Amino acid sequence: MPSNKKKKSGDKKKKKQERLERQEAAQALSHALSTHSDQFRQLLLQGRKEYAKGRAYEAQDLQQQAITYGTENLPRFNENSMVKAHALIEVGLTRSAILTDFCTDQEERKKVEQDMDEAFKDALSIYHYRIEKKTLTKFRRDECWMNANSTTYVSPIPLFERLGPLDYFTTVNWCSGNDPSPDTVSILKQVIKFINEWVKNDMVLQLECGTRLQGQIPDNYSVEAWTEKLQDHEAVLAGILSKDELSDKYTFDVPREVRHTGTIDGKMKSTFKKLEKDISKDGIKRCENVACNKVENYARQFATCSRCGFAAYCCKDCQKADWKRHKKECKDKAIKAEEEKFQNKSKDCLMVGESQQVLSIINYWLHFAAKSDEMKATQTEDATIIIHAIAPKIAHVEMWEYQFGMQEVTFLFKAIWSMTPGMRYEMTRKFVKATSKLGFPKGGPDFSMTLNWSKYGVGGDFAVVKYTPKGAILLHEDEDGTVKGYVAVGITQSLQSIVSQMEMPLPIFLTTGVFPFKKMILCQGTFMPLMKEPSQKLTLTAQAFVSGDESAVEVFERIEKE
């Protein structure tokens, strides 16, 4: 008969072996989960990319593949998983695009509309189940887990923070719509009840592993916003408000949520890299209500007019207050919105947000230069014009309080390019130091880029010799007599669209400037006719280039740096 000592030793070994087996099984499960999650995520991401390109049918196929893949490979995918609900929302939004942009046949429209409604209703049923079980703010292990290096949370969907409440709000917004019924009233009452309870509990998101994350509700999804919508739906059902009157009321576009990601200690941090990309594309808008001075803290914080898609408002009260004025310009704003979409797709000019920032930086830079000691010390005709004609106008005006006109910008740039390189750089160094104290949020204008402008920018006489999809080719003769070519893009529109208004054959000679911006060359945005004949070498080289002899000129797509 074994002794108690041997028995205890054997029990310990057995328990240790069982523990090791459980750990190995957990690691294997985690690895399989991560592998399948990555594949699922890639299908959704690829579908989103196709959707962004306007290929809605291709996007729908990829999203459907993702749902099939999740059903077969992700644990508990069909057990009221928020991951599945998110994928259903993606499919629903894509079908909405198909319905809007592609369907012409009535039978097809009816089928797509039914499929779209089904996707959103299926997603909503998942959220209602989770709310009933009080788990909408509790992420299961198969919905969210720590990544390999245990520093951040990851999930099978591209944006972890879209799981749970934010996706639920999007679904409710879609399913309630502008067609009031007893069902929509019930849906709206439920979302209001959920938000009240969530706020009461400090909006905490709970992970299955035990970590808590602080949540956030966008302003446009507040209890007040949903309550107003509920009252409108009840008014229609009571016969107080017609459906047409409800449709005519301003409705907000679905706003982008403030994006967050989890950290190992359970805190939430803003993903500034993503916010900066949003700003580059969309820019920062000011509330259109003339009585309101609020400005967005991040791109698309404010919702936009559902008709023109351009005018932005910080709240519904501002929308309603501004409607009488805005309805007269709504069509024109719609044209502006389409122009911005085209600008964002064009490769020969900056995206809307980029151009907005660059124009702000230029305005501040020129303002500082006009009043600088370096400008006063520059003994050129161009600097003299600034000292006597422009500097006095802004002597007691702050940089953000004055917007230069195009002619003023042209003269200011000429004066800056007439400075010696050393004086221009010193002036700009002081400018960057001064603007660092203005308190712009991260993701705002990067004034430090002007250091490269001052050091590597080229100003003077140029010849426009060719238009390409990447930008216009401008030739310039350096001080040493070398003619170089620069593929330059415009700030808000292509150089071709601007220069072609001169209705002259190439080459066209003008005075302007170019400088580095990210991985491209940017034209300063203003032109002047030459005040004197261009040099013979620039003239002959430009004429030869236009005639097809491009061999004599080296053309750069980036400005060379030392």
Which amino acid belongs to residue 125?
S
pLDDT at 285: 84
Tokens of 71: 């059903």
Q: Which residue would you say has higher pLDDT here, 54 or 350?
A: 350
CA dist 349 and 97 (Å) reads 27
Question: Of 198, 221, 254, which residue sits at a domain end?
Answer: 198
What average pLDDT does the chain have?
82
- Nearest one of 405, 391, 420 to 362, comparing CA atoms: 405
- Distance between alpha carbon 316 and the CA centroid of its chain, in Å? 23
pLDDT at 159: 64
* 202 phi/psi in degrees, rounded to 5: 65, 25
Give the mean pLDDT of 94-109: 79
* Chain segment 273-286, per-residue pLDDT in tens: 555 666 777 788 88
Judgement on whether residues 464 and 542 belong to the same structural domain of the protein: yes
Judgement on whether residues 415 and 468 belong to the same structural domain of the protein: no
Judgement on whether residues 184 and 41 belong to the same structural domain of the protein: yes
Tokens of 175: 């399913």
pLDDT at 370: 96
- Residue 286 CB neighbours (<10 A): 13
Establish if 375 belongs to a structural domain.
Answer: yes
Judgement on whether residues 500 and 375 belong to the same structural domain of the protein: no
Judgement on whether residues 432 and 507 belong to the same structural domain of the protein: no
Whether 252 has a pLDDT exceeding 60, the answer reads no
Q: How many domains does the chain have?
A: 3
Give the mean pLDDT of 50-62: 82
Establish if 378 belongs to a structural domain.
Answer: yes
Burial of 127 (0-12, 13-18, 19+ CB in 10 A): buried
CA dist 529 and 410 (Å) reads 11
Establish if 82 belongs to a structural domain.
Answer: yes
Burial of 53 (0-12, 13-18, 19+ CB in 10 A): exposed
464 SS3 class:
strand
Give the mean pLDDT of 237-249: 78
* Chain segment 207-221, per-residue pLDDT in tens: 766 666 666 676 667
Establish if 159 belongs to a structural domain.
Answer: yes
pLDDT at 24: 57
Q: What is the DSSP letter of 256?
A: P
Judgement on whether residues 413 and 474 belong to the same structural domain of the protein: no
Establish if 219 belongs to a structural domain.
Answer: no
pLDDT at 394: 93
pLDDT at 76: 87
Residue 164 pLDDT class (50, 70, 90 cuts): confident
Whether 176 has a pLDDT exceeding 70, the answer reads yes
> Looking at the chain, how many residues does it have?
562
pLDDT at 350: 87
pLDDT at 259: 34
Q: Which residue would you say has higher pLDDT here, 440 or 485?
A: 485
Give the mean pLDDT of 306-318: 83
Question: Of 198, 214, 235, which residue sits at a domain end?
Answer: 198
Cα–Cα separations (whole angstroms), residue 229 to 226, 238, 316, 500? 5, 14, 11, 50
pLDDT at 521: 94
Q: Which domain holds residue 426?
A: 352-446
Whether 513 has a pLDDT exceeding 70, the answer reads yes
Tokens of 91: 């499919």
Establish if 271 belongs to a structural domain.
Answer: no
CA dist 106 and 102 (Å) reads 12
Question: Of 198, 214, 233, which residue sits at a domain end?
Answer: 198
Judgement on whether residues 433 and 469 belong to the same structural domain of the protein: no
Judgement on whether residues 442 and 462 belong to the same structural domain of the protein: no
pLDDT at 79: 92
CA dist 258 and 260 (Å) reads 6
CA dist 94 and 371 (Å) reads 53
Residues 477-494: b if buried by 16+ CB within 10 A, e if exposed: beeeeebbbbbbbbbbbb
Whether 403 has a pLDDT exceeding 60, the answer reads yes
Give the mean pLDDT of 288-301: 79
Judgement on whether residues 464 and 493 belong to the same structural domain of the protein: yes
Tokens of 321: 């207050």
Share of the chain above pLDDT 70, in %: 82
* Chain segment 437-477, per-residue pLDDT in tens: 887 765 568 899 999 999 999 999 999 999 998 999 999 99
Burial of 435 (0-12, 13-18, 19+ CB in 10 A): buried
Count of helix runs (H) and strand runs (E) in the chain:
19, 16
Judgement on whether residues 437 and 542 belong to the same structural domain of the protein: no
Establish if 292 belongs to a structural domain.
Answer: no
pLDDT at 341: 80
CA dist 499 and 505 (Å) reads 10
Judgement on whether residues 62 and 186 belong to the same structural domain of the protein: yes
Judgement on whether residues 50 and 117 belong to the same structural domain of the protein: yes
- Residue 421 CB neighbours (<10 A): 12
pLDDT at 269: 42
Q: Which residue would you say has higher pLDDT here, 83 or 298?
A: 83
Establish if 160 belongs to a structural domain.
Answer: yes
